[in-house]
Structure 1
Amino acid sequence: MKKQGEIIQQLSKKQLTFHLYFTQVLLLTIACVLGLFLFDTTSEFWDQIRFSPAIFTVGMTSGLLIVLIDMLLMKVLPAKYYDDGGVNAQIFTNRSMGEIALLAMFISVSEEVLFRGVLQFHFGLIISSIIFALIHFRYWAHWFLIINIVLLSFWIGFIYEFTDNLLVTIIMHFVIDFLLGLHMRKNGRQRSKEGMSHE
């Protein structure tokens, strides 16, 4: 995890942004290719996306609840429990609110389409949730982060099963990534200021 953090520290903002979006485009491409083979008709996929009150009552509420729990745990647990080698700080510190929103939206769409809209639809909650946790490999080096991502994966999968609406989990995923991204941006900038004041 530290090695990955060191590699990311060496990337410019432009290079890091390219890698982030490239990864998400890759996931979306995999989703499209798998979808061509797994769905009998395109409507079978699109029927999962519906505008309904659940987008707000379930999606946004669940996203906010996850963020509140995470921020509470960040306050009460030792900092090392959330140490990902400085990766999140590098990703979010020097981005505007709009850049974080765009990145969060792209990630939430690509990951939810693949993991819920394609994999969970065809192979079920357990398999899709395990694969979701596995691709977030930068969290594997710490037991708490592994538990965190596995529980999150199963919770998002459960929300998808409960609502049968992909748009609900996309909004939920967006709320989590966007708000935590803003929180990490704030913390990263605060640490930078503290570092400069000690020089």
Structure 2
Amino acid sequence: MNTSKYSDRELVWSLYGTQGLLFLLTVGLLFFLHDQPAELGEYFQFDFRELFLFGMLPALVVVAVDLLLTIKLPSHLYDDGGINRQIFRSRSFWHIVFLCLLISFVEELLFRGVVQAHIGLVGASIIFALIHVRYLTKPVLFISVVLMSFMIGLLFWWTDNLLVTMTAHFVIDFVLALYIRYIEKEEHA
């Protein structure tokens, strides 16, 4: 995708639209697949120790590996076409917080709370990776998103806690978005 033909605003609204559609799909699947959609609430358990050990720590390992690869690999192998850069480079800190919370909530609710709960870890992880279509032609990025998806899927499998997967997903997206916004932006200035 050539981002130069889209404004920052258009890309952000596209992101909101995509998350809105995924949320509507989630709600529809919840009513179609669950006898009692309220049973999804069983997957929300606030346990600080679990959130830290299974949410934050694995996410920080993923971020460290991702940043290491970003630094060590040739840039063309890690280039997503500039979409993430264009979305996050001009956003305020609080807008980044909101976007990352929204993305982690919607995607984990769908892929772990609905899809993984019904078709399993492998199916949910593959579908999660495939919706990141812009990475399909970028082997390093695609392998990275597949591995991240399986890792987050395993976290859900081990804990049965969507707050754990949402925490991990949020930390990964948030730290990498801050890197784009504050560090990478300075490097390109």
What is residue 148 of structure 1 aligned with on the other side?
Answer: 144
> Is 1:130 the equivalent of 2:133?
no
Overall identity of the aligned pairs, in %: 45
Equivalent AA in structure 2 for residue 99 of structure 1: H
Match of 2:4 among 9, 17, 21: 9
Equivalent AA in structure 2 for residue 12 of structure 1: S
Q: How many equivalent residue pairs?
A: 188
Distance 1:85 1:110 in 2: 24
What is residue 113 of structure 1 aligned with on the other side?
Answer: 109
Quote the offset at 1:18 in angstroms: 1.1
> Is 1:18 the equivalent of 2:10?
no
> Is 1:157 the equivalent of 2:153?
yes
Distance 1:54 1:160 in 2: 11
Match of 1:51 among 25, 28, 46: 46
**Unpaired runs of 5+ in structure 1?**
194-199
The range that moved more, 63-72 or 172-181, is 63-72
**Unpaired runs of 5+ in structure 2?**
none
Match of 2:32 among 3, 12, 37: 37
Quote the offset at 1:12 in angstroms: 2.5
Equivalent AA in structure 1 for residue 44 of structure 2: I
The range that moved more, 35-44 or 124-133, is 35-44
| Greater Cα radius of gyration, structure 1 or 2 | 1
- Given that residues 9 and 90 in structure 1 are in contact (C-alpha distance below 8 angstroms), is that contact kept between their aligned partners in structure 2? no
Match of 1:83 among 74, 79, 83: 79
